[in-house]
Amino acid sequence: MKNPLGSLLSFLGLKKKFPRLELLEGLCCRFSLAQIKAATNNFHPLSYIGEGAFGTVYKGTLHDGTIVAVKRSKKSYQGEFKNEVRLLCQLRHPHLVSLIGFCVEGSEMVVVFEYMSRGSLADFLFGIRKDYVPLSWKHRLHICIGAARGLHYLHTGAKHAVIHRGIKSSNMLLDEEWCCKLSDFGLSKLGPPSMSKALIRKDSSVRGTFGYLAPEYVVHGELTEKSDVYVFGVVLFQVLYGRRTLDLALPDNQINLLSWAKESLREGTIHHAIDPYLKGRIAPECLNKYLEIASSCVHLKGNERPAMGEVEVTLELALELQGIADSEMESIYPSGEFMYE
């Protein structure tokens, strides 16, 4: 494996643009294509994990036995490949998927990440995995808190603010210990050194996944950190309802998750609308706090949405309220068999 710093800066076109850019030396390797093929058994179908918008992901094993995820980028997405490598070489956080290295050889563009053995949050919300087991409410809260911490870091904790622009449950990955980490930075935007004022960018072409786009971004191409907050709110409703953002198999008034959620909140029927597995398992105090922050996140006006730091703290409070209520109920019902009204 070659020292990546000089070649990486040249390939990404950053030597002239950012002459003092600091990469995390020792934390990003440049692999040869032969090494990548050896790790994935020449991209064997049995190594296949899944397909993303910008590439195909395989499970691989490096020469030292390290298990990794290998994303073979589609040739038409060189810009997204460069963007992801450029950003992740500068970002390290417990709730962001770690970049291990990359390969650029001929027409091949490959990114190597840490392997997230439990797949994505979407796998468990929508029953995609063969070993699907519904997640408990506390489990879901822990995962949401981890994702919120990662997004909070992107907005305020890095040297340059980052708008993720691809937040969705399928990009929230889970490791063996159920730690949630954000992934897929191909569309992310690097902002100014400070986020003391909202970063506003105008995008001539709106990109992303339908159902996961903030209204001001769709209508005006206006992109801020509050665009990420809106989409995070969409995910919070997915976690509570246990369903996709759009489901054409449902009745007309339930096809769009947010519309259905707002209707059920207005009519006081939310207890009938949420994930059936969660019914009777969420303490009222916790649910109210959770709905409060989820609803704030999806406010139509970006400046009315909370910052991710507030989202993180409120979710932690919701988890604490659930824990207190569970302890009280367990003292009344030692068998552990109880349901909330």
Residue numbers belonging to the annotated binding site: 71
Element (H, E) at 269: none
| 325 and 340 Cβ atoms separated by less than 8 Å | yes
Binding-site members for ATP are: 71
Determine the Cα–Cα distance for residues 246 and 33; give it in Å rounded to an integer: 39
Helix or strand run (H / E) with residue 326: helix 308-332
**Side chain identity at 18, as an amino acid letter?**
F
Token couple for 122:
């979407």
CA distance 150 to 105: 32
CA-based angle 336:337:339, to the nearest 5? 115
What residues have CB less than 8 Å from 168, skipping those under 6 apart? 122, 209, 212, 231, 234, 235
The secondary element (H helix, E strand) that includes residue 114 is strand 108-114
3-state helix, strand, coil in the chain (%, to 5): 45, 15, 40
206: Cβ contacts below 8 Å, ≥ 6 apart: 213, 217, 218, 221
Query: If you count DSSP H runs as helices and E runs as strands, how many of each does the chain have, helices first?
Result: 11, 12
| SS3 state at 259 | helix
Distant-in-sequence, close-in-space partners of 15: CB < 8 Å, separation ≥ 6: 9
Q: Quick check: 58 and 47 in contact, CB under 8 A?
A: yes
Q: If DSSP codes are grouped into helix, strand and coil, which group holds residue 257?
A: helix
* Cβ-Cβ contacts under 8 Å for 204 (sequence gap 6 or more): 221
